Structure 1
């Protein structure tokens, strides 16, 4: 290992650390920081979409851990440094904890990490896109690794940053209790005016703190041109299809995006569309919500395609069109409620209902009626308005789930 190259990679990585130091860490990052800091050894995989604060979390871990090395994989790639050689060299210098940012930039990183961990039983912390976790889970590294997802800001976290008010973090069970729900409505009432700004502009930490209106477009560009290459080979035709598909998805009302429709619009086959959409979901730029049900009937149904909050609005603004509010509401719900599936009654009949832990949720605007949930057990109407009905839940309250 060349000492000059080693020093150069560390020096440039130190600049990244300086740029990502913050005065206040988001709540989700604090929770992950506590969990990861408690571990003595193992491989910690931090994954999530670009701009969600992964490097900021790594910066905090670097300050908290002892005998720690921090490096960005992009700098190793730039200088042609072999990862395994680099780690062995750092070990000889007395480091015992290794933090590697954006590790998916290195094509065979998981093999090197496995070899190094098996040799040293060190603590290794890596970060990357959502595809990173899937790659690790499918490799020999899986049983050595623990996984931590860093999602965009929750509405609760956003309120804290904007106002200094810390609202309670709740469970879905609490939300289904009408008395508790009425208490929570009083807590959140003063902060409802922040809802539109949060969902349309500031859901990603990078956008909130950088104050750059183009941050979402820049992230999409980097995902398309760099992150996707860690999943598969792409060419100019593929990139064109990605940007066309994102335009269709971001501007479409709820339930109007299908693989067949995308295939027709892009003038390509459904197999290509399915693989492309799945790859985009691996980067975190799309959310695929599986159909509810079991067996072959659910397998034949398509996923509902949604987006992380604020990306839809940013893209629609760049296209000069108003973002579909119904789709933004569904983006909000799915981002805050893990494990959501959706109901689909047939090829020509789509419903926006979501199923979570045997409970059905119909998401809509202030005037949304209860027709679609009539006669359904454990069904609730989720409306973008404060309401006190026994079977009605304000959409805003789901923003307190993390």
Structure 2
């Protein structure tokens, strides 16, 4: 136990309180069991350590552990809870819980056996908490921590705090919002371009652009080779084919997939390819969208495939197409802000089955969405808009 406390204290020395991810203010920390999932590098560890250091009323009753610590070679999570409880502990922060084999069963036992103990744990975004060996659905509140928005990137890297703006406010009052924001930002388009290349994950603060993309590639590799392989019980052969699938997608995304063709290229069955696509989406490496439909049709195959964020585009392909980058960005920000996004019949995206958005450059016209109610243009390379033409970068302020 002393080893774990010393390990925690060493980490806490380097935890700062000058920047908090948006989710910090969203989570109801007083709940008994909280799960935080997300892509590697999104800031899950920092988030829970910040709460331990700055957010708990009594840090002395709180303990942080990582599930892959050597202490667990000869001890269990249940052992940890029992010993910590007997020492007066009442809160456990368990990092990387997916690396612990019996995580679901033991978390359930801790929850049921120690009713005064609170548990906060993090896991890979690919982990299905509700399908663990033991059912935690009635016990846990689950939250997802995506990569950063443009708003968060600007605050982290440039120490400029901007307000969160809802989609509805952007659509209704984008000119006034852009005018106010531009008072604080001298070069919004330059900052936006930096974000698109290397601003999605918080380790951008520590790395130059080339180093960031190298580290991001390592995140991709580890997410597939270790996290997905462990959670989905993949063999090394399957992990290699998933990487190849991601590479094929990166070359062509966004595109309407031919599952039969992909299956032939990878020497896999159609159902296996569909499963791999879903797993890559759950790991926050892809975004899959469908045309508006109801029932099982939406589960058959995606109608269009995107990489999950624009930084992945730059990491996996030199000089990605700017049109692809624009679409990838808007889809990513809308989904991360909690909106339903579908493949529109006219225009690019149908949002919340209400708003149609067409994406393009500064000269983009409204021809493709003419006559469509609640339709808008998200235009890149403009600082302010007019009418239904909105600066693309403004959609980076939604979370």
TM over 0.5, yes or no?
yes
Structure 2-normalised TM-score? Answer: 0.87
Summarize deviations over 1:249-273 as a string: whole Å, max 9, x none: 2232433544344323323222111
Q: How many residues align?
A: 381
Mapping of 1:242-257 within 5 angstroms? 242-257=242-257
Contact map agreement 2:349 2:358 (CA 8 A) in 1: yes
Deviation at 1:323, TM superposition (A): 1.4
Question: Which residue is 2:283 aligned to?
Answer: 283
Unmatched 5+ stretches in structure 2: none
1:83-94 matches, cutoff 5 A = 83-94=77-88
- Mapped to 1, the partners of 2:236 and 2:296 lie a distance apart of 36
Gaps in structure 1 of 5+ consecutive residues? 1-5
3-state DSSP class of the match of 1:165? coil
Tell me the alpha carbon deviations over residues 265-316 of structure 1, each in whole angstroms, 9 at most, x when there is no partner.
3232221111112112222222223432223554455243221331221122
Alignment of 1:31-110 (within 5 A): 31-32=25-26, 35-37=27-29, 39=30, 41-63=31-53, 64-65=55-56, 66=58, 67-75=61-69, 79-110=73-104
Q: Does the CA-based 8 Å contact 1:225-1:239 persist in structure 2? A: yes
Aligned to 2:106: 112
- Using the TM superposition, give the Cα deviation of residue 51 of structure 1 relative to its aligned residue in structure 2, in angstroms: 0.5
Secondary structure at the residue paired with 1:74? Answer: coil
The answer as to whether partners of 2:254 and 2:305 remain within 8 angstroms in 1 is no
Matches of residues 233-312 of structure 1 in structure 2 within 5 Å? 233-295=233-295, 297-300=297-300, 302-306=302-306, 307-312=308-313
Shift of 1:23: 4.5
Instruction: Provide Cα deviations, 1:220-248, integer angstroms capped at 9, x if missing partner.
Output: 12111211133222223212212212222
Contact 1:255-1:351 at 8 Å conserved across structures:
no
Q: Contact 1:48–1:151 (CA<8 Å) still a contact in 2?
A: yes
Q: Secondary structure at the match of 1:166?
A: coil
Q: CA 1:297 to 1:60, structure 2 compared with 1: closer, same or farther past 3 Å? A: closer
Which whole-Å deviations, capped at 9, do the CAs of 1:32-54 have from their partners, x for residues lacking one?
A: 4xx444x1x41011111111110
For residues 275 and 74 of structure 2, what CA distance do their matches in structure 1 show?
31
CA RMSD of aligned residues (A): 2.4
Q: Once the two structures are superposed, what CA deviation does each residue of 1:178-232 show, in whole Å capped at 9, x if it has no partner? A: xx21112223443221111101112111233344332101111211121113322
Residues 251 and 16 (structure 1), Cα distance of their counterparts in 2 relative to 1, 3 Å cut: farther
Task: Output the CA distance in 2 between the equivalents of 1:76 and 1:68.
Answer: 20
Residues 291 and 303, structure 1, Cα contact 8 Å, conserved in 2: yes
Q: Superposed, which structure 2 residues align to 1:1-400 within 5 Å? A: 6-18=1-13, 21-32=15-26, 35-37=27-29, 39=30, 41-63=31-53, 64-65=55-56, 66=58, 67-75=61-69, 79-121=73-115, 122-132=117-127, 134-136=128-130, 140-177=135-172, 180-189=173-182, 190=186, 191-211=188-208, 212-213=211-212, 214-295=214-295, 297-300=297-300, 302-306=302-306, 307-316=308-317, 321-337=318-334, 338-343=338-343, 352-386=348-382, 388-400=385-397
How far apart in 2 are the matches of 1:244 and 1:360? Answer: 34
2 CA distance for matches of 1:13 and 1:166? 30
SS at the partner of 1:88?
A: helix
Query: Are the equivalent residues in 2 in contact too, given 1:156–1:166 (CA < 8 A)?
Result: yes
Output the CA distance in 2 between the equivalents of 1:7 and 1:22.
Answer: 24
Residue 10 of structure 1: CA displacement?
4.3
